[in-house]
Structure 1
Amino acid sequence: MNPSQRPPFGVLLANLGTPEAPTPKAVREYLAEFLWDKRVVDVPRPLWWLILHGVILRIRPGRVAKAYASVWGEHGSPLMTISRAQQQALKEALKAQYGCDIPVILAMTYGQPSMEQAGRELRATGVDKMLVLPLYPQFSSSTTAAVFDRLAKALKPCPHLPETRWINEYHQHPGYITALANSVREYWAEHGRGDRLLMSFHGIPQRYEDRGDPYPSQCRATAQALATELGLSEEQWLCSFQSRFGREEWVKPYTDFTLIDWGKAGVGRVDVISPAFSADCLETLEELDVENRETFQHNGGGEYHYIPCLNDRADHIDMMVQLVQNNTQGW
């Protein structure tokens, strides 16, 4: 390709991944790749292999497949459908901004489309500069760093590496906080306002934070920034963590325990948002919206309202455009 015809750069959007289908077989294949990553589970390999293949992959796929089936759509899992919508919306917004087609390629850390496939798509566009945007507002070694590992592995056999820039996090980016606040205000305008706003983030083991993972502190900073933007008092909101796995201590407070306490205390209505996710997925739509609703109401709580993720909202896409502009100066 003539260098003058090449796009100035390409954008690689990265997210976690999803099974290919809501079936035990597809879920087993996905979980086998996801849970074998040392960034996700750092138990010594021989022991973890026995636990993973001897117990987890025998028990969990069937249950998880049923959960996926309950949220699966015509075009696949919610995460995949929304990620594709984000990809297309960002591509259109960048074309309007730059006056030319900027390649925006989607890759998943686990499953499809793979990093290798994304790399081939980018190379076919002729770009030699790549901006990597992991769709995780807060950095964690178990998510953002896992994208880095997976991309490095995909690029390892390449004879010529693209010039690469990396967006580590955007947990307090003004556009991100504004979009979150807009989504809450719009929800309240349509559905009324709860007694408390629970900002629930995916959890990690406490020892991860103890050894330096900044994720929990960035989650707390996001929650505080959102509360400030919304003008909430300390009694009106809380930052909590969901999705514990295993018996060890995880970052606290726990979302389910909080909802149990609030239910028993007779809280009339709680609104829940999950700012760690850029797109709704199984964890938000099934665990947070369904399981935790039951937990709250079973323990005496009143109304439970889940506020959707930012997904492909225009202000969310605008924030991504700002990230791209800020991180491609000189390209």
Structure 2
Amino acid sequence: MDKPPFGVLIANLGTPEAPTAKAVRSYLREFLSDRRVVDVPRVLWWLILNLVILVIRPPRVAKAYAKVWGPEGSPLMTISRAQQRALAAALKEEYGQDIPVSLAMTYGKPTMEEAGRELRKAGAERLIILPLYPQNSSSTTAAVHDRYSNAMAPCPHVPAARWITDYHVHPGYIGALANSVREYWAEHGEGDRLMMSFHGIPQRYEDRGDPYPSQCRATAAALASELGLNDEQWICSFQSRFGREEWVKPYTDHTLEDWGKAGVGRVDVISPAFAADCLETLEELDMENRETFIEAGGKDYHYIPCLNDRPDHIGMMVSLVKENADGWS
């Protein structure tokens, strides 16, 4: 069998294996133990995590997962597998031969080790690594890098690797986002304001140099420009706060509450930080924040889905691979 010129490793955050307190506890333990995610001193954090968070949060989070869990399992996993299949098919059409594509999750399964074995079995000796995070953050993209490095540590032959660290203003990405918004508006009409809600991080992360918030703002501005919106028609906000410290602002839920009280009739919400719909979009944005807006006096709330396995999203991934595979094909 001829070896492929390279393989592609796509990576995302991860998901519990079931919408149960036990499965969620196992997942949260691994996720929240990562220093990239929580940088509190280890002894103090061990006590908080094991004696408080992992006791209180799993049942509540499991109930949230149960609201969005599908017949094939977690929406993030289902969509990620669809993206994996679609990207492999698109790359085969582009290159005229099989380009192996493997999926790894930073936390949970499939593990980085499992994805690596899959790519080695396919004969890939060069890798293009694509974390499915449009914006680069120490808590996401860097965590993938750490996980990959740990997985490769015992390997006698480490493959050549090229990393795609972000694509926050890539023309294909902004174009696909704009297409999704226009298509939604064509079917459902256009709201009074477009909220672009990104997952938040603590403000001190940005203060010490994390590029994520500035890249989120650049994504939002580029999308607004592509859609021809004026400054009064859109906002970039941040969701999913955890703990009591200050996070990057403005906060999504507070903004929606203010808009509802101010009499904004309809708001459309999109989340360009996520490559696939997941708990934070389907439950937090589409359910919890809808309730926040309506209860505050808002009239109509529309959630625009993530790009998921849309053809233009997969086409953008192909472009990223081609741009980074120079000399390998």
TM-score in terms of structure 2 length: 0.99
Q: d(CA) in 2 for partners of 1:74 and 1:293?
A: 24
Q: d(CA) in 1 for partners of 2:172 and 2:163?
A: 18
Aligned to 2:283: 286
Q: d(CA) in 2 for partners of 1:260 and 1:135?
A: 30
2:13 alignment partner, SS class: strand
Q: What does the per-residue CA deviation read over 1:146-199, in whole Å, with 9 as the maximum and x for residues that have no partner?
A: 000000000000001000000000000000000000000000000011000000
Q: What does the per-residue CA deviation read over 1:128-149, in whole Å, with 9 as the maximum and x for residues that have no partner?
A: 1000000000000000000000
Q: How does 1:230-269 map to 2 (within 5 A)?
A: 230-269=227-266
2:167 alignment partner, SS class: coil
Aligned to 1:273: 270
Amino acid at match of 2:242: F
Q: How does 1:164-243 map to 2 (within 5 A)?
A: 164-243=161-240
Q: d(CA) in 2 for partners of 1:50 and 1:71?
A: 31
Are 1:107 and 2:104 counterparts?
Answer: yes
Misfit runs of 4+, over 2 Å: none
Q: d(CA) in 1 for partners of 2:129 and 2:220?
A: 25
Choose 316-325 or 66-75, whichever is displaced more. Answer: 66-75
Aligned to 1:21: 18
Are 1:116 and 2:96 counterparts?
Answer: no
Are 1:39 and 2:1 counterparts?
Answer: no
Amino acid at match of 1:275: P
Q: What does the per-residue CA deviation read over 1:260-286, in whole Å, with 9 as the maximum and x for residues that have no partner?
A: 110000000000000000000000000
Are 1:159 and 2:159 counterparts?
Answer: no
Are 1:87 and 2:106 counterparts?
Answer: no
Amino acid at match of 1:259: L
| Aligned Cα root-mean-square deviation (Å) | 0.5
Deviation at 1:296, TM superposition (A): 0.5
Q: d(CA) in 2 for partners of 1:196 and 1:231?
A: 13
Give the alignment partner of residue 315 of structure 2, picking from 311, 314, 318: 318
1:39 alignment partner, SS class: coil
Give the alignment partner of residue 294 of structure 2, picking from 288, 291, 297: 297
TM-score in terms of structure 1 length: 0.99
1:235 alignment partner, SS class: coil
Amino acid at match of 2:157: H
Q: d(CA) in 2 for partners of 1:246 and 1:64?
A: 15
Q: d(CA) in 2 for partners of 1:131 and 1:307?
A: 30
User: Percent identical across equivalent pairs?
Assistant: 78
Q: d(CA) in 1 for partners of 2:79 and 2:130?
A: 16
Are 1:130 and 2:130 counterparts?
Answer: no
Q: d(CA) in 1 for partners of 2:120 and 2:318?
A: 22
Give the alignment partner of residue 93 of structure 2, picking from 72, 96, 107: 96
Q: What does the per-residue CA deviation read over 1:197-220, in whole Å, with 9 as the maximum and x for residues that have no partner?
A: 000000000000000000000000
Q: d(CA) in 1 for partners of 2:149 and 2:75?
A: 27
Q: d(CA) in 2 for partners of 1:180 and 1:214?
A: 21
Unpaired runs of 5+ in structure 1?
Answer: none
Amino acid at match of 2:49: L
Give the alignment partner of residue 327 of structure 1, picking from 321, 324, 327: 324
Q: d(CA) in 1 for partners of 2:215 and 2:50?
A: 34
Deviation at 1:322, TM superposition (A): 0.1
Q: d(CA) in 1 for partners of 2:70 and 2:258?
A: 34
Q: What does the per-residue CA deviation read over 1:62-120, in whole Å, with 9 as the maximum and x for residues that have no partner?
A: 01111111111111100000000000000000000000000000000000000010011
Amino acid at match of 1:72: W
Unpaired runs of 5+ in structure 2?
Answer: none
Q: d(CA) in 1 for partners of 2:92 and 2:124?
A: 15
Amino acid at match of 2:301: Y
Amino acid at match of 1:44: P
Q: d(CA) in 2 for partners of 1:254 and 1:127?
A: 43
